[in-house]
């Protein structure tokens, strides 16, 4: 009998086809009713799950009797209750590296768009406000040669730092749990405490993963420490930033602008952010290019197949539990 795979979000069509050739596949369909009820039902006799963007925890997984792996099509895994997965001896795999450069590109897109007020000036031009030469209100921030502070010099953080250093001659500061000399030295990057980074940087980019220590790492106090011309970028996870404090900082012009790809509650609807012209809001698209999403789906597929064949996938988050 074929093993059963539950697909819990939209995934690459070709990968879905390959899964269907190999396994008994059930796709969770939000249009067919409550998603968590469907997951609870379908997971009961499932061997594997694949997808992204859903909270999976005891509440919707406890019916599972033979689930070996959840293969996440993402690098971040804060949507999954690791404690429960460990207890239930379910592997969790993810897709690091293949999305690093694309996500770093997006971080730089946000940095530049916010610094030069691209969406605001695009609207300004299209609505016919360009009646004479631009003035102070349309001026942006200098990027070349300025100081870029990276919070979390992981894979993506380092790729952002490389863009800043090689492409824009930027002075790089970074903060993390430890110094990373191998990554930092070629970029002339200096490790510093968070407060110093916030005070000294012209551009601050958050690239940590969301965990118990990074929840609201950037709060009202942090925004107060930033320079009034600073540009703040978050491509990590929304909950790393106190969004109300960010809104206040933008409203009160404590900082110049922000570029956001992630939010405390997604999808972002009816937010005060929509009324502010000094923020660029994107719909969580860090890795969203066709090429990268395909690579992620492929890697997630390989992780899943490996586990169902009895091996250990390359990128397991909790390898000790099987």
Closest distance between ligand NAP and the C-beta of residue 292, in Å?
9
Angstrom distance (rounded) from CA 18 to CA 304: 12
Angstrom distance (rounded) from CA 258 to CA 239: 16
Residues that bind ligand NAP (CB under 6 A): 75-76, 96, 99-100, 103, 152-157, 176-178, 207-211, 213-214, 235-237, 261-262, 284, 286-287
Closest distance between ligand NAP and the C-beta of residue 109, in Å?
11
Catalytic-labelled residue, pool 266, 277, 293, 322: 266
Q: What is the DSSP letter of 164?
A: I
Residue 237 annotated among the catalytic residues of the structure: yes
Residue 142 annotated among the catalytic residues of the structure: no
Q: Which residue, 246, 227, 207, 190, is CA-closest to 100?
A: 207
Q: What is the DSSP letter of 204?
A: E
Sign of the torsion angle spanned by Cα atoms 219, 221, 225, 227: positive
Closest distance between ligand NAP and the C-beta of residue 315, in Å?
11
Structure tokens given for 214: 């990074």
Closest distance between ligand NAP and the C-beta of residue 108, in Å?
13
Closest distance between ligand NAP and the C-beta of residue 166, in Å?
18
Residue 132 annotated among the catalytic residues of the structure: no
Q: Could you give phi then psi for residue 53, rounded to 5 degrees?
A: 75, 20
Our CB check for ligand NAP shows the closer of 156 and 245 to be 156
Catalytic-labelled residue, pool 94, 116, 175, 284: 284
The residues, any chain, with a CB within 8 Å of residue 203's CB and separated by 6 or more, are: 111, 115, 143, 146, 147, 148, 149, 164, 170, 230, 231, 233
Catalytic-labelled residue, pool 116, 237, 243, 293: 237
Beta strands at 203-206 and 147-151: parallel, antiparallel or unpaired: parallel
Q: Do residues 276 and 251 touch, judged by C-beta distance below 8 A? A: yes
Sign of the torsion angle spanned by Cα atoms 253, 258, 264, 270: positive
* Nearest residue to the partner ligand NAP, using Cβ: 154
Would you name the residues annotated as active-site residues? 237, 266, 284
């Amino acid at each position: 009998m074929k093993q059963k795979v539950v697909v819990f979000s939209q995934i690459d069509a070709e990968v879905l086809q390959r899964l269907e050739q190999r396994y008994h596949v059930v796709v969770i369909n939000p249009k067919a009713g409550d998603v968590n009820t469907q997951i609870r039902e379908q997971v009961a006799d499932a061997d594997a799950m694949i997808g992204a963007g859903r909270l999976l925890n005891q509440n919707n997984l406890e019916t599972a009797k033979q689930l070996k792996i959840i293969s996440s099509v993402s690098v971040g895994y804060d949507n999954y209750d690791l404690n429960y997965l460990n207890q239930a001896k379910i592997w969790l795999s993810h897709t690091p590296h293949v999305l690093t450069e694309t996500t770093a590109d997006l971080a730089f897109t946000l940095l530049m768009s916010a610094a030069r007020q691209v969406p605001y000036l695009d609207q300004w031009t299209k609505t016919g406000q360009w009646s004479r030469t631009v003035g102070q209100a349309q001026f942006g921030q200098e990027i070349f040669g300025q100081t870029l502070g990276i919070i979390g010099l992981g894979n993506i953080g380092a790729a952002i730092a490389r863009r800043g250093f090689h492409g824009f001659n930027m002075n790089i500061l970074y903060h993390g749990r430890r110094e990373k000399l191998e990554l930092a030295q070629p970029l002339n990057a200096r490790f510093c405490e968070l407060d110093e980074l916030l005070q000294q940087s012209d551009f601050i980019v958050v690239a940590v993963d969301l965990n118990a220590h990074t929840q609201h790492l950037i709060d009202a106090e942090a925004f107060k420490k930033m320079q009034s011309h600073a540009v703040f970028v978050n491509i990590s996870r929304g909950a790393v930033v106190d969004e109300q404090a960010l809104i206040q900082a933008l409203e009160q012009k404590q900082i110049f602008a922000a570029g956001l790809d992630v939010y405390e509650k997604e999808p972002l609807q009816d937010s005060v952010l929509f009324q502010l012209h000094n923020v660029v809001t994107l719909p969580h698209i860090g890795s969203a290019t066709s090429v990268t999403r395909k690579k992620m789906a492929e890697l997630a597929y390989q992780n899943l197949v490996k586990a169902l064949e009895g091996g250990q996938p390359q990128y397991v988050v909790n390898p000790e539990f099987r």
